[in-house]
């Protein structure tokens, strides 16, 4: 395996797990750069007004990061771990943009997506909305505290709709509602074994831990 993607809804723990796996395996770590996005705090307060500039800025930022990091192979780190995949751009945009805005956005996305490399394994950490809200509250980012639960549910549905269309790389959906891989080493070991010690068919694969 050379390119591993770990994703999940907001608060699922994708970045934490990516960091843990990358550190243990001396892998190249690619983290989504969103903290300095000037539209994000504004979006959480007024989604209708700031959704289009936010999604366009994410598209540009993610493409530039992938072009600079993912497409440049690192001979010293044979494994690359990313806490997002470029397809996330369309998943979120579909749930935040108006129909005409999304149509325009999708035309730009499709042109760019053709050049994006496919992961060897795409891992999705699934958690119920209540669990996500608890995780979001615990990590204490001010601009996330007003997230509407229905927005998280829409994002989750968007991911699963996307997975149904994937045919050229394996997607592993891991239900994490009953585990805590941050605090419990045994839970982390289970996830790690599932990622590195199993073979998966192209398309959707499911695992409950």
State the pLDDT at residue 45. 84
Residue 148's Cβ-count burial label (10 Å; 0-12, 13-18, 19+) is: exposed
Which among 20, 68, 132 is positioned nearest to 6, based on CA atoms? 20
Q: What are phi and psi of 193, to 5 degrees?
A: -65, -40
How many angstroms separate the CA atoms of 56 and 36, rounded?
15
CATH topology of domain 3-208: Rossmann fold (3.40.50)
Residue 140 Ramachandran class (φ > 0 left, ψ -120 to 50 alpha, else beta): left
Residue 141 in this model has a pLDDT that exceeds 80 = no
What average pLDDT does this structure show over 118-126? 96
The pLDDT of residue 75 is above 70: no
Average confidence (pLDDT) over 35-50 = 83
Task: State yes or no: is 26 an active-site residue.
Answer: no
pTM of the model: 0.88
Q: How many CB atoms lie within 10 A of CB 192?
A: 16
Determine which one of 26, 83, 130, 180 is catalytic: 83
**pLDDT for residue 40 is more than 70:** yes
């Amino acid at each position: 395996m050379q390119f591993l993607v770990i994703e999940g809804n907001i608060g699922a723990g994708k970045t934490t797990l990516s960091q843990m796996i990358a550190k243990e395996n001396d892998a190249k770590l690619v983290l989504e750069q969103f903290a300095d996005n000037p539209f994000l705090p504004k979006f959480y307060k007024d989604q209708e007004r700031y959704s289009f500039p936010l999604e366009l800025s994410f598209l540009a930022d993610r493409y530039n990061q992938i072009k600079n990091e993912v497409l440049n192979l690192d001979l010293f780190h044979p494994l690359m771990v990313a806490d997002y995949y470029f397809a996330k751009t369309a998943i979120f945009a579909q749930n935040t943009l108006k129909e005409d805005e999304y149509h325009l956005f999708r035309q730009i996305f499709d042109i760019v997506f053709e050049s994006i490399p496919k992961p060897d394994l795409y891992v999705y950490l699934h958690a119920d909305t209540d669990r996500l809200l608890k995780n979001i509250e615990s990590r204490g980012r001010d601009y996330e505290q007003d997230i509407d639960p229905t927005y998280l549910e829409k994002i989750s549905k968007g991911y699963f709709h996307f997975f149904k269309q994937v045919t050229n790389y394996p997607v592993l959906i891991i239900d994490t509602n009953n585990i805590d891989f941050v605090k419990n080493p045994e839970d982390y070991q289970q996830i790690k074994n599932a990622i590195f010690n199993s073979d998966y068919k192209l398309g959707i694969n499911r695992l409950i831990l």
